Structure 1
Amino acid sequence: MSEPSDTVVRAITQDGAFRVITALTTATVRGTVAAQAATGNTAQRLGELLTGAILVREAMAPTLRVQVIVKGAGQGSLVADAHPDGTTRGLVNLGKGSEVAIGEGSLIQVMRTLPNGALQQGVVELPREGRISQGLMAYMQESEQVVTMVSVATLLDEQGVGRSGGVLVQLLPEVERGPLMVMTERLREFERLDEVLADPQVTADKLLEEVLYGMPFTRLESSALSYACRCSQLRVVAALASLPRSDIEEMVAEGQVLDIACDYCRKAYQVAPGALKTLLTES
């Protein structure tokens, strides 16, 4: 039996009390972790951050690009880059260490790219325990002023990433005391998703049904998720165009083909001197 595909599902309870978003992100995380050659704790935290970025984008900015960055307490950083078409990629910067150390003193930064190209961002400190889920909840509370429960998990096995997924629940203005107490108790079981995700056939809809068991809800829509990098030869040349003119002139004079690798997917690109010369042409 084939594995369930990566999907994000949105729903709202029929009493208007809660909005729920669930996501299965196993293949997306596997692709990113493989591209970054991440292992151990770094791979696990990267997977959680990727899932969290998807959930935050779906909840707060479904039509915008959302980047979530975790800066380690000592050194290194993790980046999750989620796009409206459902593609996501990530980046690991180990600094001088063997893994990105996340704990007290770490920061989580969320950035949205607006249609005009401007960035809207917020930064919060990760709670003492240093869990990605808690950091995202702190961001939603402090920067977005929305009471939100977030739980993300990435399970590793002998082959690498076994399962990955997450749940986001937002309290809506219509929530009443009774449903709130029921949901609060229910969510205690989802603070750690490990047991639910351990099922090899778990889906985003299964996560949704587990969270909203016994609560009438309306399934709004779902969309596919995948790992993909957005690099291209054109983007590489465009990035070079941002260099000072003197630097470009020096590279042209040397007459060598530039070998450039994408930081996200490691794909190699070559830029010939002729392509660099076009950057010096006055428009």
Structure 2
Amino acid sequence: MSDYIVRATAGNGQIRAFAASTKELVEYARSVHNTSPVATAALGRLLTAGSIMGSMMKGDDDVLTLQIQSGGPIGGITVTADSKGNVKGYVNNPEVIIPANAQGKLDVGAAVGVGFMNIIRDMGLKEPYVSQTALQTSEIAEDLTYYFATSEQVPSSVALGVLMEKNNTVKQAGGFIIQLMPFADEAVISKLEAKLGSFTSITALLDQGFTPEMVLEEVLGEFGVDILETYPVKFHCDCSKKRVEKAIISIGKEDITEMINDGEDITVNCHFCNKNYTFSIDDLREIAEKRSK
């Protein structure tokens, strides 16, 4: 198995934990969007978070969207995930290049800038559940830690990382989300806080060859880790020409007629996977006929 997520508990069920390796899906995202190193790091972190948070959902048709709206040069990030390990996403400005931070690392916080994070859960109800929090550091992991604490009242620790090769491909990517259950006792809470306080870098562990299971053992081993489930995760976009056609039908007959009168083929781009769909004048005429019915 290449990219995958591990779900586990520790401390006799007082801690729940998820860890993921996401190198291949982040590299795929980099390749289809042609992202700069800092844009790859930002998108990769949010893709990793989305895949883990998507796995927390119960329903087969549940959909999670993580959306960062910010004023930094990256211009925002959108990631969508389901409960089956499928995730997709894009950055508004994939070519952003900025100087490294004071530690000589990719400055994701500066690239993202000041803004908000929207977490949207569509669980098939009348309206999706929407939560918005202000970005705290714009480094993404810390912002999600803040989200879990304030919006869901679940004490959590989020670690996300993307390590780049010198040729700007993805060397390592992954992360974890560790959460305390409501009935956790003070001794477990104190020990976990101390352990997480000394934790430094998820990418350092991944670069040493740590698997998601090994990462959880490294962080939670003293509590006793019980692996519950392991399943694959991948970058997957469900766009198709048929779905794009439905979107064109929805824009209205007058607009479609105007496209036909322009006398040129139109090309529609999928933001998530960067795939283009071309519709000829004959295609547009057929769509207009469907619109009239």
The answer to whether the superposition gives a TM-score over 0.5 is yes
Residue 58 of structure 1 and its aligned partner are, at CA, apart by 2.4
Tell me the equivalent position of 2:53: 56
Residue 179 of structure 1 and its aligned partner are, at CA, apart by 1.4
Residue 102 of structure 1 and its aligned partner are, at CA, apart by 4.2
Give me the whole-angstrom Cα distance separating, in 2, the residues matched to 1:161 and 1:238: 35
Identify unmatched segments of 5+ residues in structure 1: none
SS at match of 1:115: coil
2:208 maps to 1:210 = no
Tell me the equivalent position of 1:86: 85
2:174 maps to 1:177 = no
Of 264-273 and 172-181, the range deviating more from structure 2: 264-273
Give me the whole-angstrom Cα distance separating, in 1, the residues matched to 2:29 and 2:158: 21
Going from structure 1 to structure 2, the CA distance change for 1:170 and 1:60 (only over 3 Å counts) comes to farther
Of 179-188 and 89-98, the range deviating more from structure 2: 89-98
Tell me the equivalent position of 2:283: 275
The answer to whether the 8 Å contact 1:72/1:102 transfers is no
> Where does 1:139-178 land on structure 2 (aligned, <5 Å)?
139-159=147-167, 160-178=169-187
Residue 189 of structure 1 and its aligned partner are, at CA, apart by 3.4
2:122 maps to 1:123 = no
The answer to whether the 8 Å contact 1:78/1:90 transfers is yes
Identify unmatched segments of 5+ residues in structure 2: 99-107
Tell me the equivalent position of 1:193: 202
Give me the whole-angstrom Cα distance separating, in 1, the residues matched to 2:272 and 2:265: 22
Of 238-247 and 91-100, the range deviating more from structure 2: 91-100
Give me the whole-angstrom Cα distance separating, in 2, the residues matched to 1:157 and 1:74: 24
Residue 67 (structure 1) aligned to one of 61, 65, 68? 65
Give me the whole-angstrom Cα distance separating, in 2, the residues matched to 1:186 and 1:149: 11
Tell me the equivalent position of 1:246: 254
Going from structure 1 to structure 2, the CA distance change for 1:242 and 1:114 (only over 3 Å counts) comes to same
Tell me the equivalent position of 2:21: 24
How well do the aligned residues superpose, as a CA RMSD in angstroms? 2.3
TM-score of the superposition, structure 2-length normalised? 0.86
Going from structure 1 to structure 2, the CA distance change for 1:86 and 1:242 (only over 3 Å counts) comes to same
Q: Which amino acid aligns with 2:192?
A: M
Percent of aligned pairs with the same amino acid: 25
Give me the whole-angstrom Cα distance separating, in 1, the residues matched to 2:56 and 2:9: 12
Give me the whole-angstrom Cα distance separating, in 2, the residues matched to 1:181 and 1:69: 33
> Where does 1:32-47 land on structure 2 (aligned, <5 Å)?
32-47=29-44
Residues 205-258 of structure 1: CA deviation (Å, up to 9, x unaligned): 121221221222321111101112221111111111121221011123334322
Residue 134 of structure 1 and its aligned partner are, at CA, apart by 0.7
Going from structure 1 to structure 2, the CA distance change for 1:187 and 1:65 (only over 3 Å counts) comes to same
Q: Which has the higher helix share?
A: 2
Of 70-79 and 230-239, the range deviating more from structure 2: 70-79
Give me the whole-angstrom Cα distance separating, in 1, the residues matched to 2:232 and 2:95: 36
Going from structure 1 to structure 2, the CA distance change for 1:116 and 1:241 (only over 3 Å counts) comes to farther
TM-score of the superposition, structure 1-length normalised? 0.89
The answer to whether the 8 Å contact 2:34/2:95 transfers is no
Going from structure 1 to structure 2, the CA distance change for 1:31 and 1:104 (only over 3 Å counts) comes to closer
